[in-house]
A and B are shown apart, each in its own frame.
Chain A
């Protein structure tokens, strides 16, 4: 039987969850024995080249590109996993959800301590090449169907390891108390 194929991506995240995948330490070698990676920052494959079994999503959706990538993952992966707090509930990027978008942009480009007085023309990024910010940051499961959730900031390496092993072997996933954390 061929190896299960895994794809990963980081949407509105900090790449901390991907660092946590690497935090499985030497088991990363076993991981490469167990699965094949497709589109992922780990192997730098930019586009899907085949249908994948497992898609791992870090980060929520804060802009149009995130939504596009997430929908692409849903289309190309049989199972999608929300990895980490940002994918599950928006995380720290979602702290802007209670601030009007215009106020966020003004703070970032006009009135913030590092920009005030340095942007006399009041230029804000507005090019059709750039993704458009969404009105708020959305958890992934509010955009597409998500099959499994692995919480944590970042999710503990053992949690990621247990989940991948359970998915690949078909055994029930172990969820020890110490590894299911929201921070």
Chain B
């Protein structure tokens, strides 16, 4: 039993493999912790903060925290869900998210979290900051208006010899996602599709694809995000 740890999420007894991060450990126990930057099997970054939970009374990001024996985790409480809703609203106002015109609409994880938290309007003013679109690559569009700087693409999409195809340029307020056009030109169609699918928003789009799935059949049209892990609780 030494390779298993016991912990509690909202009072429920859970068991998971030692060393697993809390998001994946919760998933093994049928509990959904919302995330935007986390991607199973990829080194966590803790950049979006949506997976905030309270561990032994302190706020921590679940994706960067390995489970430990005896952990007491608060996940689905009103104040934590409200905090997550605030983070989602912040992401909506700091980018330029025109859902009605976005090819990713209906399959977008940020939008799906907006639905999950019943975000009717963000409580913050819209920034409307100018961001650039990079359409130079043969297979991909990079639309920085929608980028939430989660670094999923940086961490998960590599060239055949292990080089990063995507990278963050600049720091702080000036940070933006960039693509290596030479490396991107060598991507296969499957790799380009994976880059698009790994992007939680509509920032990386495959060219010549457009509005692929009809409204009504898209991923989050009928099923709330996380409902594949647990019966979703909408607050």
Binding site for B on A (CB under 8 A): 82, 85, 88-92, 94-95, 97-98, 136, 139, 141-142, 146, 148-151, 153, 175, 177-178, 180-183
Smallest CB separation, A15 vs chain B (Å): 14
Q: Is the CB of B128 within 8 A of A94?
A: yes
Tell yes or no: B44 within 8 A of A by CB: no
Tell yes or no: B159 within 8 A of A by CB: no
What does DSSP make chain A's interface, helix, strand, loop or mixed?
mixed
Query: Which of chain A's residues have a CB closer than 8 A to the CB of B115?
Result: 177, 180-182
Q: Which of B114, B115, B121, B224 has the most CB of A within 10 A?
A: B121
Given A92-B101, A94-B98, the answer on whether A180 and B120 have CB atoms closer than 8 Å is yes
Query: Which of chain A's residues have a CB closer than 8 A to the CB of B215?
Result: 183
Smallest CB separation, B95 vs chain A (Å): 11
Smallest CB separation, A60 vs chain B (Å): 10
Q: Is the CB of B130 within 8 A of A183?
A: no
Contacts of B215-235 to chain A: CB distance below 8 A:
215, 221-222, 224, 234
Q: Is the CB of A149 within 8 A of B120?
A: yes
Query: Which of chain B's residues have a CB closer than 8 A to the CB of A139?
Result: 121, 126
Q: Is the CB of B118 within 8 A of A180?
A: yes
Query: Which of chain B's residues have a CB closer than 8 A to the CB of A88?
Result: 120-121
Number of interface residues of B (CB under 8 A): 26
Q: Is the CB of B126 within 8 A of A90?
A: yes
Q: Is the CB of A98 within 8 A of B96?
A: yes
3 nearest A-B pairs in the assembled complex, by CB-CB distance: A153-B100, A182-B99, A98-B130
- Of the residues B99, B101, B121, contact of A82 by C-beta under 8 Å: B121
Q: Can you add 18 more A-B contacts, CB < 8 Å, to A95-B101, A182-B100?
A: A88-B120, A89-B126, A94-B98, A98-B96, A98-B129, A98-B130, A136-B128, A139-B126, A141-B121, A148-B120, A151-B120, A177-B224, A180-B118, A180-B120, A181-B115, A181-B221, A182-B115, A183-B100
Distance in angstroms between the alpha carbons of A88 and B114 in the assembled complex: 14
Residue of B with least CB distance to A176: B234
Distance in angstroms between the alpha carbons of A150 and B119 in the assembled complex: 10
Tell yes or no: B19 within 8 A of A by CB: no
Smallest CB separation, B19 vs chain A (Å): 35
Q: Is the CB of B121 within 8 A of A149?
A: yes
Given A92-B98, A153-B99, the answer on whether A178 and B221 have CB atoms closer than 8 Å is yes
**24 residue pairs bridging A and B, Cβ less than 8 Å apart:** A82-B121, A85-B98, A85-B99, A88-B120, A89-B121, A89-B122, A90-B128, A91-B98, A92-B100, A94-B98, A97-B128, A142-B125, A146-B121, A148-B120, A149-B120, A149-B121, A153-B99, A175-B118, A177-B222, A177-B234, A180-B120, A182-B105, A182-B111, A182-B114
Smallest CB separation, B216 vs chain A (Å): 9
Distance in angstroms between the alpha carbons of A181 and B122 in the assembled complex: 14
Q: Which of B114, B120, B125, B131 has the most CB of A within 10 A?
A: B120
Distance in angstroms between the alpha carbons of A180 and B115 in the assembled complex: 7
Query: Which of chain A's residues have a CB closer than 8 A to the CB of B34?
Result: none
Residue of A with least CB distance to B102: A183
